[in-house]
Amino acid sequence: MKKSYHIINYGCQMNESDAEHFAGQLEDMGYAYNPDFHQADVILINTCCVRESAEKKILGKIGEMKAVKAAHPQKVICVTGCMAQKSGKKLLTTYPQVDLLIGTAHVNNFRGILESYLAGRKHAQHIFTDLEQIPEEFEGNFVRKSSFSAWVPIMYGCNNFCTYCIVPYVRGRERSRSKENIIAEITKAVGLGYKEFTLLGQNVNSYGKDSGAQDAFSDLLTAVDAIPGVERVRYMTSHPRDMDEEVVKAVAESKHICHHFHIPVQSGSNKIIKAMNRGYTREKYLGLVKLIRSYVPDAVITTDLIVGFPGETQEDFEDTLKLLEEVSYDVAYTFIYSKRSGTPAAKMANQVPQEIKQERLEQLMAVQNKHSLKHNEKLVGRTLEVLVEGPSHNNPLVWSGRTDGNKLVLWPKGQDNFVIGSKLNIKIEAAQTWLLKGRPSYE
Ligand code: SAH
Ligand code: SF4
Ligand code: F3S
C-alpha cells in the first residue's frame, strides 16, 4: 500500500500556502493524502503563534500525538511553521513524540529534511537563525487544495514590527519574489483551470521595496489583471501606511481585481495606533477610506481590530467605536490583545485586565454586527456575480460561493448546470450578518 500523509494546518493564508508546498513535496516522494491522521505515516502540524489561544490549541494537538506515536513508533510526526520557529528546541524536549521540528525558512527543502530523517531516524530541528537566508523559489511541486482558487505568495516576511506582533520574529525580513516568477506561476495555474488568485504577503503594499522599486505592487496587480484567463484577483494584507493612490487606481481601472479592500486599522485611537508602531494616524486612515470610496464607490471595506492593547483607556476604546461608526466596515475581524513574549508590547505597563478586554470585544462586535447587517441588507434584490465554491460546509443541500467583495452567498441545490469554480448570477433574497441567501437568476 502507498504510504500516506496528513497535514493539520493552523494560522493565516501564508500557512495554507506553505501547507500546499509541504503536500506537493510529500506527493513527489510518493505519499498519498490521507484524510484520517490516525492512518497516516507522516503527520505534519503546521503551526501559528500569533495569539496565545492559537498556541494553546496547537499544543493540545501536539500533546495528542504522544499516544499516536506510542502506538505506532514508525509514524513521523513533524511540527512546522511559526510556532516551531519560535519555540525551537524547547518544544522538542517537552514533546519527545515530535520527530522533526521545521521552521518557516525550510518549507522548500522539506523533502530533503524528511529523507535524511527517514535514513537515520534521529530527532532533528531545522530552525533558521539568519533572517535573511531564505531562498525565493520552491523547488518541489505543490498540491493546491482548491481546484479553482490559488494562493500566490508574492513576498515573505515583515519589516514592520508592530509592537504587539510576533510575525516579524518568526517570518524574518521582507523578501519579494520576482514579478516574472509570479506571472509564470499564475499563467501555469490558469492553464490548469485556476480562475481566482490571491496574492499573499504580510504587507503586500511594500512588494518590491526590498530591491528599491517604486509602485511595484500596483504594477504587479495590473500585470496579473492582464493575464488571459485570470477572472478574479485578490491580495492580502494591505498596510494602511503603505497603501497609496496608485494601488487604489490600479484596482479601479482593472477588469478583474476585486473591489474588496482589507485595511487593518487595529485601533481608532491615535495614542494606541502610535504605541502599536503602525505609522499612520486616525485622520490619515480616514483619508485613505475616502480615497478608496471616491475611486471605487462599491468598495467592500474590511478591517482587523485589537482591543485591550496595553494602555488602552475607556476613552481610547471609544475612539475605536467611533471609528467603526464613521467608516462603517462590511466586516471587522476583532481580536483580544494577546501578550507575545519577545515583542515590545509585552513589556509595556498598564496591561488591560482580561474582563475589560472581553467586555470591550463584545461591545465592539455588537457595533460591527449592526454595520455588517446593514451592508448586506443593501444587497437584497440585487443580482450579484458569485464564484461557485461548492456545497456549503454546514448544509450539503445548499451551494455556496463568494461575491467580488468576498461575501458568502448560499442558494438551494436544484437543476444545476454549472461547475465548481464557475461564475453564476445570484439574485439576493435575504441578508444576515455573515452571509447572503439567494437564487440563481436563471430560475
Ligand atoms: N500582516 C497582516 C496580518 C497579521 S496577523 C497584517 O498586518 O494585517 C492578523 C491580525 O492578527 C492582525 O491584523 C492583528 O489584528 C492580529 N494580531 C496580531 N498580533 C496580535 C496579538 N498579539 N494579539 C491580538 N491580535 C493580534
Ligand atoms: Fe504583524 Fe504588523 Fe507585520 Fe502585520 S504588518 S505581520 S501586524 S508586524
Ligand atoms: Fe500565524 Fe505565522 Fe500566519 S504566526 S498568522 S501562521 S505568519
Q: Is 338 in the pocket of ligand 1 (CB under 6 A)?
A: yes
One-letter amino acid identity for 123?
H
Enter the C-alpha cell of residue 265.
486599522
CB 254 within 8 A of CB 222: yes
Q: Is 48 in the pocket of ligand 3 (CB under 6 A)?
A: yes
Q: Is 12 in the pocket of ligand 3 (CB under 6 A)?
A: yes
Cα separation of 133 and 104, whole Å? 11
pLDDT at 210: 86
pLDDT at 429: 98
Q: Is 263 in the pocket of ligand 2 (CB under 6 A)?
A: no
Tell me the β-bridge partners of 390.
400
Ligand 1 atom at minimum distance from 338 CA: 23
Closest residue by Cα to atom 7, ligand 3, is 167
> Can you tell me whether residue 280 is helix, strand or coil?
coil
The Å distance, Cα 87 to ligand 3 centre, comes to 14
Rg (CA), the chain: 22
Where does residue 381 rank: exposed (0-12), middle (13-18), buried (19+ CB within 10 A)? exposed
Cα separation of 441 and 427, whole Å? 5
Domain ranges in the chain are 4-128, 144-258, 383-440
pLDDT at 121: 79
The Å distance, Cα 45 to ligand 1 centre, comes to 21
Q: Give, in words, the CATH class of 4-128.
A: alpha beta
Cα separation of 251 and 134, whole Å? 31
- Backbone dihedral region of 193: left (phi > 0), alpha (psi from -120 to 50 degrees) or beta? left
| Length of the chain as a residue count | 443
Q: Is 266 in the pocket of ligand 1 (CB under 6 A)?
A: yes
pLDDT at 137: 65
Ligand 3 atom at minimum distance from 104 CA: 2
Cα separation of 151 and 186, whole Å? 10
The Å distance, Cα 428 to ligand 2 centre, comes to 36
Taking the CA of 82 as reference, the closest ligand is 3
- Structure pTM? 0.95
Q: DSSP state, 401?
A: E
Per-residue pLDDT tens, the chain, 443 aa: give them: 789 999 999 999 999 999 999 999 999 999 999 999 999 999 999 999 999 999 999 999 999 999 999 999 999 999 999 999 998 888 989 999 999 999 998 888 899 999 999 998 777 777 776 655 555 666 667 899 999 999 999 999 999 999 999 999 999 989 899 999 999 999 999 999 999 999 999 999 999 998 888 889 999 999 999 999 999 999 999 999 999 999 999 999 999 999 999 999 999 999 999 999 999 999 999 999 999 999 999 999 999 999 999 999 999 999 999 999 999 999 999 999 999 999 999 999 999 999 999 999 999 999 999 999 999 999 999 999 999 999 999 998 999 999 999 999 999 998 788 899 999 999 999 999 999 999 998 76
Q: Is 237 in the pocket of ligand 3 (CB under 6 A)?
A: no
Domain at 383-440: CATH code? 2.40.50
Phi, psi of 357 (to 5 degrees): -60, -45
Q: Is 153 in the pocket of ligand 3 (CB under 6 A)?
A: no
Q: Is 173 in the pocket of ligand 2 (CB under 6 A)?
A: no
pLDDT at 140: 64
Q: Is 200 in the pocket of ligand 3 (CB under 6 A)?
A: no
Within 13 Å and on the Cβ side, how many CA atoms surround 399?
A: 26
Taking the CA of 48 as reference, the closest ligand is 3
Q: Is 15 in the pocket of ligand 3 (CB under 6 A)?
A: yes
Q: Is 202 in the pocket of ligand 2 (CB under 6 A)?
A: yes
Write out the DSSP string of 176-245: EPPHHHHHHHHHHHHHTT--EEEEE-TTGGGTTGGGT-SSHHHHHHHHHHTSTT--EEEEE---TTT--H
Taking the CA of 308 as reference, the closest ligand is 1
Phi, psi of 367 (to 5 degrees): -65, -45
pLDDT at 105: 86
pLDDT at 215: 87
User: What architecture is the 144-258 domain classified under in CATH?
Assistant: 2-Layer Sandwich (3.30)
Ligand 1 atom at minimum distance from 339 CA: 22
Cα separation of 61 and 8, whole Å? 9
Ligand 1 atom at minimum distance from 343 CA: 22
pLDDT at 129: 65
